[in-house]
Structure 1
Amino acid sequence: MEPHHVAKDKTDSPRVEIPDANRLSPPAVASPPSGRHPLYRGIRTRSGKWVSEIREPRKTTRIWLGTYTTAEMAAAAYDVATLALKGPDAPLNFPHLASSYPVPATLSAGDIRAAAAAIATSQQPKNPSDGETSDPAAAVPLTNPARSPAIAEEEIFMDEEDIFEMPKLMAEMAEGMLLSPPRINLPADEDESTDAFAGNTILWTYNSDCK
């Protein structure tokens, strides 16, 4: 009896599977760059807290709005600064609260920061967990800009958002430079006489040197 020959198929050879990198670990959820919140504008996480800041229009500097315990407090602080610097048409985190936001006394960084801290206080949770009582003072920014030199360093800096917006920013700055500066009318009896005296003095000095 002749031995039965079984034809070997090339497919019967051992297969070497290359592991798929996507199956080695579960897909990671993309996190916002630099700790930014995925929903709220103008805030980012830092050391377990939420910091809020806003870039001044047509400038590369930012106004530091404070460090807060919740993202909602920081987002509300950003809304107040946005309304003050960019107007009512700017996108907000809580547009339904726009009418209740305080208006800064001036557009200075200090007044904007104070108004932002005030609205953040109202956004503090009323029923804290772990049996803690609500303390309105805790809603004040965790850092004191008036006496902390670190805040001054954080008020002026650039990040990746400024790099992407640089062409638009340069166009806005160029447009702003085309505007004529306001004319300052000083009293004629003081200014003109001073200028005339200064001009005569320079001319006299020049003639004396020539001699």
Structure 2
Amino acid sequence: MAAAAYDVAALALKGNKAFLNFPQDVLHYPIPPSSSAADIRKAAAEAAAMKQSDENNNSNYSDEEFIDIDAYFNMPNMLVDMVGAMMVSPPRLSSTDDQDLPEDDCVGETGNLWNYD
């Protein structure tokens, strides 16, 4: 509703140079009769009311089915496991004698995967 009100005010003040939230609704917005603040406010309030009635009429949220992703993938603790993975601390840096390895050979028998040099 606020975005629709902004669109009407922006059109009244900036014309075709206005950046709009709902450019597809431009033809449906009320046009203020003048550039006075009171007329712009009245038109903006009408646009907000129109947007609210459109949202109430087009509401299909009751028809949508809730899908439990954990049950769908048969992973009952998926979110808990994801949070647990975020709690793992990064590997500790240790000084090793891997300094003589080439820079692009950081993984190998003696290489260190977590080489930050």
Superposition TM-score, scaled by structure 2 size:
0.45
Structure ID, larger Rg: 1
Structure with bigger RCO (C-alpha 8 Å, 6+ apart) = 2
Higher helix share: 2
Q: Which has the higher strand share?
A: 1
